[in-house]
Amino acid sequence: MSLFVPNGSGAVIARAVDAEKVGGSSSDRARVLVGADIATLEEGDVAAVAPRTPHAFAADGWSADPLILIAPGIECFEHFRLLDRVRTGKAALQELLDSQELHDDHFVDRPEWQRDRTAVRDGRPA
């Protein structure tokens, strides 16, 4: 299962209160937001996300396979399954919103990420 949908809106911007995350793409390329910075990760690149730092990932016309490490270890498999169910319309966004505290994934808004995603959808360089 890949949560990276080519030319999609990308992940909901979130910040973890307690967890540090390291993420990257094991194949192809992905866009990443870490704090206020947006960059393209090439195959094998990684991005580190400190606790309380807004972050999101997306694939722009590519089929990246994400690799995400979270420390300290927390139960996150159901969280990723829920993200996929929301993405495919099998679950309501409210379920995801209701699970923020349980999965230490607190959603935030970042205008720069929204502009980046809009540019990609409109076919403009990000």
- CATH number for the domain that contains residue 69: 2.60.120.10
68 located within any domain = yes
114: enclosing H helix or E strand: helix 111-121
| pLDDT greater at residue 121 or residue 4 | 121
Model confidence at 8, in pLDDT bands (50, 70, 90)? low
Q: Residue 106 is part of which domain span?
A: 14-117
How many domains are contained in the chain? 1
Q: What is the pLDDT of residue 11?
A: 61
- Residues forming beta bridges with residue 33, ordered by sequence position: 38, 56
Q: CA triplet 100, 48, 126: central angle to 5 degrees?
A: 85
2 located within any domain = no
Whether the predicted pLDDT of 48 surpasses 80: yes
Structure tokens at 23: 């993420």
Whether the predicted pLDDT of 3 surpasses 70: no
125 located within any domain = no
Mean pLDDT of 49-66: 77
